[in-house]
Chains A and B, each alone.
Chain A
Amino acid sequence: MNTIRNVFVKEVTDNFRDRRTLMSALLMGPLFGPILFAFVINLSVKQSLSDSSEALDLPVIGREHAPNLIAFLESNNINIIDGPETREEAIAAVGNGDRDVVIVIPETFGKNLADMIPATVEVITDQANTQAERETRRATHALRDYAQELAVMRLSLRGVSPLVMRPLNIDEVDVSTPSGRSAILLGMLSYFFIFALLTGGMNLAIDATAGERERGSLEPLLCLPVKRDDLIFGKILAACLFMAISLSLSLTCFHFTLKFMPLQELGMTPNFGPMVVLAAFLLLVPFALVGASLMTLVASFTRSFKEAQTWVSVVLLAPTMPILVVSILMVRPSTALMFVPSLSQHLLLVGLIKNEPLDMLHVAVSVSGTLLVGGLLTWLCARLYRREGLLG
């Protein structure tokens, strides 16, 4: 017990002085998540909001030839603005990317319309420009609507029911709910916490074997009259502490930054008050034991710090796999799934954020299942630490 405490205290002191550990534990993990999350949220808000609620600025050449069409477009939330003077200028402007889309109405438009000859309207656009795609689609959509309206009027004038023109009535029923839409975003959220947690203890886990060996401090350490199990337990516990610190910082960071993210506009109303932060910490922190022991285990097979970093980075990705699968398949939480570390934390956290009541059985299974796996991995680490080959 004394040895475990001594090793733990030494590792904590040592690593609090190590800029590399501090960077990853106190800066990288906690900040990376909120920043990336804010970025993704803002991007998707921008995407979904620009559909029709935002006015589209559309340059039109020859608007004097089609006053009714212009009035229709303006009533469809399209601002007609001044742009290139001629068709050639318009082609050049779209070609070099100054304009996304320009509409050209030729002189003959009014006459053709009156003569019942299909009147041409040119939509000048660059198909290769993906940014322009949405605006082009809106412009052509509005023009089709106008054409449809004219057609209906013409038929009515001739005493034909406009329904003749609509043999099919296609109705899309969208059953997606705001919370369902946010499932993938929430999956991201819980992964950020697990990521922050893991990066916090990464250096310590590597140091326990690969680092000590490379520095030459492992052999003298093993010459001491202490049990190797106690050495490894102390080191894993220290890694757990750094993971817990990193996790709590990350949660706190999200608590403050989520207020500044336009989540309501996406139909998400995440519940991330102080109590949820505390509950999330308690739900996630058992995973630290799994993370610390798994990373230590992986690092103990490697020959150098660099090699260990490469392999341990793979461990950083491992917890995403179950989360990803579940996010795509939209699996509902069940007691059986609570035995899977990282997945159970994810499911519980998503429920928590969605303001659903916590199933205490699920919590109990998640915590004990995760601790069990962590304990097993720790035992494996201790077994490996007893090997002769440890010194490499």
Chain B
Amino acid sequence: MIEVKGLYKSFGDIKAVQGITFAADNGRITGLLGPNGAGKSTTLRVLYTVLKPDSGSAIIDGIDVVNDSLAARRRIGTLPHGAGLYPHLTARENIAYYAKLYEMPAHTIDEAVQTVIDQLDINDFADRRTKGFSQGQKTKVSLARSLVHGPQNIILDEPSNGLDVMATRSLRALIRQLRDAGKCVLFSSHVMQEVAALCDEIVIIAEGRVAIQDSADGIRNATGCDDLEDAFVKAIGMVGNTA
């Protein structure tokens, strides 16, 4: 369960996030949708505690990310934008390194690593050094390493970037799988179709503000557009008018 309340964050003169409020429930896939530079990544970065908000708060499973960032980080698995691996370590070692840093008990690590390797179907290259991996392979390993400790909340920043059709499909299948296991999945994208295909709940963000939060059908109704893309454009326009 992730709750974001009245989040503000500026970088110098640039107001990246101006009062974002939304909630992402357990057992649901929540998509953060918005054009480039809308404030999606900044919001997610505040959630996984590498940025501190100027004001407002974000709460993960009842833990404030500012006051107790260490505990909040234990409750999440994160795939930041463009996440990189250690090229001299094998995929398995990359995942195991994170398992150790999550302070999982030593005797459970090998098993947990094998479990995510099976789950993400990366056995074929699990014991190869990650230097020279394709983008799809890299994303899968990065995802595996952020899921190894079985987090309740999963935050993915543009996870399908650079993936081909097959890799995107298996990523979607995995995200649904996590939802069905009762996890809270929050991911960002600027691709309308992807969000429409996957999300139970859509949060449309533009210019650092939430334009609308609803299900896909709810958004179609609220904007009066049948086509979700039109609805997206209209919702973004609504922010522009109020600003």
Contact = CB atoms under 8 A, between A and B. Distances in A.
B74 to A, nearest CB: 4
A217 B145 CA distance: 12
Interface stretch (A2-10, A76-84, A235-243, A325-333): A2-10
B50 A14 contact: no
B103 interface: yes
A343 B74 CA distance: 46
A223 B98 CA distance: 10
A239 to B, nearest CB: 16
Interface string B23-51: 00000000000000000000000001111
B49 A223 contact: yes
Main secondary structure of the interface of A (DSSP, over half): helix
A2 to B, nearest CB: 6
B78 A223 contact: yes
A388 B129 CA distance: 31
Interface stretch (A86-94, A224-232, A251-259): A224-232
B101 A388 contact: no
A158 interface: no
Given A6-B101, A225-B73, A216 B82 contact: yes
A252 to B, nearest CB: 27
Contacts of B89: 10, 13-14, 17
Interface string A198-230: 000000000000001001110111111111000
Contact of B50 (A2, A7, A10, A388): A388
Contact of A224 (B79, B85, B98, B142): B98
Contacts of B88: 13-15, 17-18
B102 A391 contact: no
Please tell me the size bucket of the interface on B.
20 to 34
Most interface-central of A15, A226, A227 (chain B CB within 10 A): A226
B86 A14 contact: yes
B120 to A, nearest CB: 16
A220 B146 contact: yes
Contacts of A18: 88
Interface in B85-144: 85-89, 93, 97-98, 100-103, 129, 142
Contact of A223 (B52, B71, B73): B73
Given A216-B84, A223-B76, A10 B102 contact: no
A220 B80 contact: yes
Nearest to B101: A224
Given A219-B50, A219-B83, A220-B83, A3 B101 contact: yes
A223 B146 CA distance: 9
Nearest to A17: B88
Contacts of B129: 17
A15 B86 CA distance: 10
- Contact-residue bracket for chain A: 20 to 34
Contacts of A223: 48-50, 73, 76, 78, 80, 146
B70 interface: yes
Q: A13, A215, A224: which has the most chain B beta carbons within 10 Å?
A: A224
A388 B54 CA distance: 12
Nearest to B89: A14
Given A216-B83, A225-B71, A6 B48 contact: no
A215 B146 CA distance: 17
Contact of B70 (A13, A212, A225): A225
Contacts of A222: 49-50
Contacts of A226: 70, 101
B82 to A, nearest CB: 5
B48 A227 contact: no
Given A14-B86, A18-B88, A224-B73, A219 B80 contact: yes
Nearest to B85: A217
Contacts of A2: 100, 103
Given A6-B97, A216-B83, A217-B84, A224 B51 contact: no
Contacts of B80: 216, 219-220, 223
Contact of B103 (A10, A216, A225): A225
Interface of B: 48-52, 70-71, 73-74, 76, 78-89, 93, 97-98, 100-103, 129, 142, 145-146
> Which 7 pairs, one residue from A and one from B, show the smallest C-beta to C-beta distance?
A216-B84, A215-B84, A225-B73, A17-B88, A219-B80, A223-B78, A217-B84
9 contacts: A3-B103, A216-B83, A219-B81, A222-B49, A223-B50, A223-B73, A223-B78, A224-B101, A227-B70
Given A14-B89, A215-B87, A225-B101, 13 more contacts: A6-B100, A6-B101, A10-B86, A13-B88, A17-B129, A215-B85, A217-B83, A223-B50, A224-B73, A224-B101, A225-B71, A388-B52, A391-B50
